[in-house]
Structure 1
Amino acid sequence: MSSSEAIVSTAIAGAIIGAAVGGWINDRFGRKVSIIVADTLFFIGSIIMAAANGPAVLLFGRVFVGLGVGMASMASPLYISEASPTRVRGALVSLNSFLITGGQFLSYLINLAFTKAPGTWRWMLGVASVPALIQIVLMLSLPESPRWLYRKGKEDEAKLILKKIYEVEDYDNEIQQLKESVEMELKNTEKISMMQLIKTTSVRRGLYAGVGLAFFQQFVGINTVMYYSPTIVQLAGFASNRTALLLSLITSGLNAFGSILSIYFIDKTGRKKLALISLTGVVLSLALLTVTFRETEIHSPMVSPFESKQFSNNTCPEFNTATLNNQKWNCVRCIQSSNKPTCGFCADHNKIQPGACLIKNDFSKNQCGKEKRAWYTQGCPSNFGWVALVGLGLYIIFFSPGMGTVPWVVNSEIYPLRYRGVCGGIASTTVWVSNLVVSQSFLSLTEVIGPSWTFMIFGVIAIVAILFVIVFVPETKGVPIEEVEDMLEKRFVQIKFWKKRDSLGSQKH
């Protein structure tokens, strides 16, 4: 594992632990306390990383950051959901997703701003402590979740907060539903356990939907796009690191734009329909990427023995052996050479014409550059590269408004109050474990089977996700949180979309 992979993996491992522990802290100490603890961990981690004097200290700081991110990933949407009026609940949780994706875009810009500053990386890591500190201060002035307070017996405090959230005509109804929900839960004094979660019908069905959405959110490949977008751009045939980073910035911007769309559509279209529209677009985008990368592999520029020999003794040894055996190589075969040393492709001035296969090192890169040629080590020159970029852009635009936000919204509102923190923690842990598996296997998969088949695998998983959403995910749009439990009790298979509620507030079937 490379140092960069170790740094990424350490943070994700911390997030897995933070998400798992965060569910218990959410239920035991409240949503507000959980968010403040998460911010504190993030603040400490950022300071440690900025002051690091070696890799070990840097990794130690990343663990703190990961713990904070894992805890906040479910605590924030849960707090927002429980402190929001029903009619705008989805939009406000989606706003949380927009602020996350917008923050990612902003971080790219901040990193660019600090590229020429003394101690560049320390500023990049240390500046992350500022928003964490600001949120700690602001959270101290905000109330606790009224639903959590009500369940903990602080009814008067909860009612005061709910009066500020709901219109007068809705307030009595919300209080009555909350009272009935809490009374039902308090009858069950049994300690929460995994066996109890499975035995409780509404919780079990909620977990099917919530954990399934969390799993598919990651396994359709989103974080391979976000973590490795510069690599994917190079796989599409764009050799320049500068170009790859610029296009990655655009990718991050599209992700933030998609989150804005979610704010508008999630309470109008509904969670389930938005997820299905999103996944359908993801399937089409991945199909386009699969075909494009396959065409790039098939029409890869050939390797010319004559071109390769022009670079003295730096020709790829494996290519020399293949030439002696009358084997013809193309660029893809060159950069995927399995023996040591690994090799790279120095393109012809007309990039799709035969080029040279050379040992992958700085000398080869510099020699290729002196000839005003492009140097490829991850992807190959192609006439189809721009189509891959279109596919990448479409993937982000379709994913972000739907599968980027719907899993978080559904998981913040689908579980009974007593189990909400624990179940949310399970779903959040699923997200981070899936994230780790996908992000750590992506580059290995592209090396073994190529990017085209890798994207096809993600596409097949997205098709399975569509079927899963149709069958198991209920529509929670406009349904008061306290009524979701009753909805799940009555129905397991969710193939039929939930219709609009009638004037009495009961669900039509």
Structure 2
Amino acid sequence: MPDNAPRPADARLTTELDIELRRLEAAPDRRDSAHRMVALAASVAATGGLLFGYDTGIIASALIYITHSFALDSTGQQGIAAALNLGAVFGAIMSGPLSDRLGRRPSVMVAALVFTLASLGCALAPSQTMLILARFVLGWAIGATTQIVPVYVAELAPAERRGGLVSLFQLVFSLGLLVAFAVGYALAGPPECWRLMFGLGVIPALFLALGMVFLPESPRWLLEQGRTAQAVQVLYRLRGHHEPIRQELDALREAQDQASDTPGWSALRTSWLRPALIAAIGLAALSQLSGPNVIVYYAPIILSEAGLGHSAALLTSVGVGVTSTITTFMGIMLIDRVGRRRMLLAMLPFAALALFALGTLLAGTAPLEGMRLVFVVLALLAYIFFNFGSLSVAVWLVASEVFPLIIRSKAMGLASATVWLSDTLVSLFTLTLVHDLGRSGTFWLFGAINALAFFFVLRWVPETKNTTLEEIENSLRNGTFRP
């Protein structure tokens, strides 16, 4: 058989696709309803981000009271915070093969069920050990969600809307943080209030599980499984007209014709995939090593130790939640217009400057009061604005875009695991850094990492706006992916 001749499976796929597309030519134009369907699917799936944000953020408020309930030292505090992150590393890696086998949609539902059970486990934990175990299981569900949801939405969304729709995950994450900080502030007081704080996570978990029942499977996953007719029908629900479906499927078939025969994880060792791997994994690590969760996890404790009262410190966290939500919403509105790379390069220098200013303001041992307190809060919120509006918005989006279909789920799992492993390092060592370097030195260090992130983006991260997933794959294959 000549090298360029289609393989039997390819020929059968081509024939089935052509038959299904001819059937659609007489179907009515439903692009308006398809537009709404894509938005609905992205919104429901993004509820996983709400769970991610809530369970990440609630520890900042709950930890103050857990410390008294279980007489924790700094090691115990860091252990409870880090248990979720360690679980998320395993969840991210394990969920890639799971979503390849079961499908994106059922895998999200499994993660939502684990969310529900683990949230109850945290609320009812009788000891520090059981709380750490429940937080670990909760982390598994969060890690799985951060892998599956961005891939699912990226595979559903048209190229011109993909940035905003995938970034809904980060917006809802910010909303989850805001809800967590508001709940923490509202429930603060009784010694065991942290149990209700954790237990309320059951509500969005059940909403996610039920909502996914009514959503379609990823059409790209269906095609990969040979379920051609179902894939075309799902695409019709998502595009509403045969012309964009034909264009999309032609590009997908071309990518499949060029697909590597290298199976599983070993595909990531191929040289043509290396630029995507560097860009996605580098952004994943820097998104956490740049320090956003230092503020999320430990700002109340750090500010309390600097002289701010518990109530005022928790109220500052509410301000962090509001700021992160506003800036993430702005990022979603702009990312498909401005572009991923340009937003990162424009905002990261200001994130670094805000942390350098915060470190300078926290120098010395004088208690926070007067205008110094005002400037500390402003610098903290400015950092959240510029970091969440750049790295935090782009990290899940870029990782879900740059990998080809043959390895997308597993590679996204690796990127997600990198996020959580980096976050684990931050959560484990932040209080130790504060002890060894002081508050000022710690924030100066994170400011330097934000500056490093700017130069990484400049060198390694290309622009992917208004580009189909298959066009991105072709750029990898022909060596034009780099900036």
Instruction: Decide which of 271, 279, 295 is 1:209's aligned counterpart.
Output: 279
Which one-letter code corresponds to 2:159 in the other structure?
T
Q: CA deviation at 1:238?
A: 4.0
Instruction: Look up the match of 1:16.
Output: 89
Q: 2: CA distance between counterparts of 1:110 and 1:290?
A: 29
SS in 1 for 2:264: coil
Which one-letter code corresponds to 1:47 in the other structure?
L
Instruction: Look up the match of 2:383.
Output: 395
Residue pair 2:184, 2:314 contacting (<8 A) in 1 also: no
Q: 1: CA distance between counterparts of 2:127 and 2:275?
A: 47
Instruction: Decide which of 91, 110, 114 is 2:183's aligned counterpart.
Output: 110
Instruction: Look up the match of 1:183.
Output: 257
Which one-letter code corresponds to 1:87 in the other structure?
E
Q: Which has the higher helix share?
A: 2
Instruction: Look up the match of 1:474.
Output: 462
Residue pair 2:265, 2:407 contacting (<8 A) in 1 also: no
Which one-letter code corresponds to 1:192 in the other structure?
G
Q: CA deviation at 1:141?
A: 1.5
The verdict on how the C-alpha distance between 1:448 and 1:120 changes in structure 2, with shifts beyond 3 A counting, is: closer
Residue pair 1:151, 1:182 contacting (<8 A) in 2 also: no
Question: Could you state the TM-score of these two structures normalised by the residue count of structure 2?
Answer: 0.80
SS in 2 for 1:405: helix
Instruction: Decide which of 391, 404, 423 is 1:416's aligned counterpart.
Output: 404
Q: CA deviation at 1:383?
A: 5.4
Instruction: Look up the match of 1:461.
Output: 449
Residue 253 (structure 1) aligned with residue 241 (structure 2): no
Instruction: Summarize the alignment of residues 99-498 of structure 1 with structure 2, pairs less than 5 Å apart.
Output: 99-115=172-188, 120-166=193-239, 168=241, 169-185=243-259, 188-194=260-266, 196-201=267-272, 203-234=273-304, 237-293=306-362, 296-297=363-364, 300=365, 384-491=372-479, 494-495=482-483
Q: CA deviation at 1:488?
A: 2.3
Residue pair 2:356, 2:444 contacting (<8 A) in 1 also: yes
Instruction: Look up the match of 2:53.
Output: none
Which one-letter code corresponds to 2:441 in the other structure?
W
Which one-letter code corresponds to 2:321 in the other structure?
S
Q: CA deviation at 1:119?
A: 5.5
Q: CA deviation at 1:232?
A: 3.8
Which one-letter code corresponds to 1:209 in the other structure?
A
Which blocks of at least 5 consecutive residues in structure 1 are unaligned? 302-378, 496-509
Q: CA deviation at 1:112?
A: 3.5
The sequence identity of aligned pairs, in percent, is 31
Q: 2: CA distance between counterparts of 1:181 and 1:389?
A: 50
Q: CA deviation at 1:176?
A: 0.5
Residue 41 (structure 1) aligned with residue 114 (structure 2): yes
Residue pair 1:470, 1:494 contacting (<8 A) in 2 also: no
Which one-letter code corresponds to 2:279 in the other structure?
A
Q: CA deviation at 1:40?
A: 1.2
Q: 2: CA distance between counterparts of 1:393 and 1:112?
A: 18
SS in 2 for 1:464: helix
Which one-letter code corresponds to 1:77 in the other structure?
P
Residue pair 2:293, 2:423 contacting (<8 A) in 1 also: yes
Which one-letter code corresponds to 1:279 in the other structure?
L
* Aligned positions, number: 409
Instruction: Look up the match of 2:103.
Output: 30
Question: Could you state the TM-score of these two structures normalised by the residue count of structure 1?
Answer: 0.76
Instruction: Look up the match of 2:35.
Output: none
Which one-letter code corresponds to 1:210 in the other structure?
A
Instruction: Decide which of 165, 170, 174 is 1:97's aligned counterpart.
Output: 170
Residue pair 2:332, 2:393 contacting (<8 A) in 1 also: no
> Considering only CA atoms, is the larger Rg found in Structure 1 or Structure 2?
1
The verdict on how the C-alpha distance between 1:271 and 1:113 changes in structure 2, with shifts beyond 3 A counting, is: same
| Cα deviation digits, residues 310-350 of structure 1 (max 9, x gap) | xxxxxxxxxxxxxxxxxxxxxxxxxxxxxxxxxxxxxxxxx
Q: CA deviation at 1:444?
A: 1.2
Instruction: Look up the match of 1:68.
Output: 141
Q: CA deviation at 1:200?
A: 4.2
Residue pair 1:163, 1:171 contacting (<8 A) in 2 also: yes
Q: 1: CA distance between counterparts of 2:451 and 2:193?
A: 43
SS in 2 for 1:150: helix
Instruction: Look up the match of 1:365.
Output: none
Residue pair 1:287, 1:459 contacting (<8 A) in 2 also: yes
| Cα deviation digits, residues 88-111 of structure 1 (max 9, x gap) | 111011111111110121122233
Q: In terms of mean alpha carbon deviation, does 26-35 or 486-495 score higher?
A: 486-495
SS in 2 for 1:53: coil
Residue pair 1:205, 1:492 contacting (<8 A) in 2 also: no
Which blocks of at least 5 consecutive residues in structure 2 are unaligned? 1-73
Q: 2: CA distance between counterparts of 1:163 and 1:29?
A: 22
